Amino acid sequence: MSGTFGGIELGKRSLMAHTQQITTAGHNISNKDVEGFSRQRVSVKTFDPLDRPDLSRAETPGQIGQGTIVESVNRVRDEMLDQRIVAQQNQESYWETRSKYYTMLEQIYNEPDDVSIRSTMDKFWTSWQELSLHPESQAAREAVVSRGQSLVNSIRNRDLSLTGVGNLLNSDIEANVEQLNNYANQIAELNGEIVRSRGLGDNPNDLLDRRDLLVDKLSKIANITTDQRDNDEFMVHLDGHILVQGGVARNFEVVAQTDNNGYSKVVWADTKEKVSVTGGSLGALIELRDVDVRNEIQSLNTMTMNFADLVNDVHRNAVGANNVTGLDFFVQQPFVENTLGNYDRDGDGVEDHSYIFRFTGTNALKPQEQIGIEGSMTFSAPSGLVQVAYHPTDTVEDVINRINDSNTEVKAYLDRNNSLVLKATTAQAMENPDFVIRHVEDSGHFLVGYAGILNASGEQGAYDFAQANAVNALNQNAQFAVSPVENPSTYIAINEQITKDVLSVAAAYADHTGTAANGDARAAVEIASIRNTKVMIGRQRTFDDYFADSVTHVGLMGEQAETNMLSQNAIMDDLRGLRESISGVNLDEELADIMKFQHGYNAAAKFVTVIDQMLDTVINRLGV
């Protein structure tokens, strides 16, 4: 049965419960502006009654209650909503990062008209047209050199700007990796504290809030997912790999690469395997650096390389006003000094590869002539090899277009002599070198007897760069050019011999005497016509196509990034607003709760006072 002082104990429990509720409300108010804080609520229950069926009890109907007790203090949180936010948040950060950097790229391409590559190249072609009208004029030659120098400067400036964005991306990647490691380590440390706290029977609300905040920040960097095991082991996963497991965190590491401008590769610190990050700011930064900016630099290099090669091909076969011939107009730096393109790729002292940029066939072809033969050509592709078939009813132009429309890293066109030219493009895979023809094969005779590029058909007659002296597979009269040093847009320049003597600018072809005839301007006309000739600059067929495509591509990608960013912002605003309505602190609500708990506390205090007065009557006054 209830003891004499049972009422005092009952009142005391009520006072303690209301005190805890008031304290918790005050805790909520004081942490309202703390990032990641979730409001907390006190859960109370009735204290165990005195009379229970399993104990001896008085012959009294019902049970004698003993008041209330605090069961737990819980944070108000929707775990399913939290998981959705973590899963979605990386996309918001991903598109925000892409939008920011594409704004930078758009600024690079939005050059003033008078200094842009497009305008300076137009002036360069115009200067050759003027020279074709006045082939004996020194002033026209000075204009060619001057405008050529302006074009070179524009190309170098764009390359410098793109490289600067790449360097900035690389720095941001390294900073993101350091931040990710820091968050992962903090989460692992908190996991240990949370487990220890729960092992003592506590409910570590503030520690859980701190961990959830770190998980939120981590989800902005990478596309992570979380998992809570039955044994209270909290885990963070990244692309199927464990990033954090309980109190153990795996870290990332940045390792410099030699095949990507020295930029850092992100690897797992323990296994050294490459990390795959497809979301978050880190995923966006890696993709921007290794795909977007790299493609823009490669596109500029492709244009520069083809432009210089085409102008040089005409100029070195033409004659200047001083009767000098054999000069390249633009400086080209071959990747290897070996005239056959042989190169020691693995660094063991033995030449084991051939680095060749261009093949030119021996036979003059007619674009609209049906070839009358059948077979299949095999070329190197971004991954593996690609076959391009040809049929007897195909014209030469049909076959060339089919090569160029296929997913190969070799492009074809007819030069000024109508000879078939095969050129290497930049390589999509980082492990493959740029401007290197890696494989050419023909099961029939189009590239063999018809075009005069290969010596023999079939696999035994194939050209493959993975060997020294690979050019032995070419027709003995076929011409070839050694691959240039990577990133020609960084070093393109006008031949010093031409800048010192502008009369070396060639406008004519030599006659039977080896000199230029008066008024001959055939070379100048041919160089000027390159502007609108189909010369296959990567996937673009003319230089005008290249400029139109490059500007349009950057603009569309920037528009896509901004549109997706705004869409993700709207989604995340709704999710964050929903979480705030559930877990956020409302001052009016907390103030109302404090007033309610205060009234309860006052009532409990009055109850204790009444019990005290009753006991005073029993103890001090009864029987007096």
Residues 364-418: tens digit of each pLDDT: 999 999 999 999 999 999 989 999 999 999 999 999 999 998 989 999 988 888 9
Residues 554 and 562: beta-carbon distance below 8 Å: no
pTM: 0.85
Q: Which residues of 331-361 are buried (b: 16+ CB within 10 A; e: fewer)?
A: bbeebbebebbbbeeeeeeebbbbbbbbbbb
Residues 447 and 377: beta-carbon distance below 8 Å: yes
pLDDT higher than 70, residue 62: no
Q: Which two tokens stand for residue 284?
A: 């966006």
Phi, psi torsion values for 442, nearest 5 degrees: -140, 125
pLDDT higher than 70, residue 465: yes
pLDDT at 101: 94
Region of 38 please: left (phi>0), alpha (psi -120 to 50) or beta.
beta
Encode pLDDT of 479-526 as tens digits. 999 998 888 999 999 999 999 999 999 999 988 777 878 888 999 999
3-class DSSP assignment, residue 437: coil
How far, in Å, CA of 301 to CA of 331, rounded?
Answer: 14
How far, in Å, CA of 121 to CA of 331, rounded?
Answer: 17
Residue type, 372: G
Encode pLDDT of 524-567 as tens digits. 999 998 888 777 666 667 787 888 888 888 889 999 999 999 99
pLDDT at 537: 66
Average of per-residue pLDDT across 36-53: 82
pLDDT at 1: 47
Region of 617 please: left (phi>0), alpha (psi -120 to 50) or beta.
alpha
Phi, psi torsion values for 254, nearest 5 degrees: -110, 130
pLDDT higher than 60, residue 127: yes
pLDDT at 437: 95
pLDDT at 260: 65
Encode pLDDT of 180-222 as tens digits. 999 999 999 999 999 998 888 888 999 999 999 999 999 999 9
Residue 434: closest CA among 442, 425, 446, 447: 425
Place of tokens 């704004």: 103
Residue 378: closest CA among 368, 370, 389, 367: 389
pLDDT at 442: 96
Average of per-residue pLDDT across 464-472: 94
Residue 252: closest CA among 172, 175, 177, 176: 177
Compute CA distances 196 → 77, 125, 208, whole Å: 21, 76, 13
Residue 164 has, within 13 A of its CA and on its CB side, a CA count of 10
- Interhelix angle for 294-315 vs 543-583, to 10°? 170
Residue 150: closest CA among 195, 118, 174, 115: 115
How far, in Å, CA of 330 to CA of 181, rounded?
Answer: 48
pLDDT, mean over the chain: 89
pLDDT at 441: 96
Residue 91 has, within 13 A of its CA and on its CB side, a CA count of 14
Residue type, 27: H
Region of 585 please: left (phi>0), alpha (psi -120 to 50) or beta.
beta
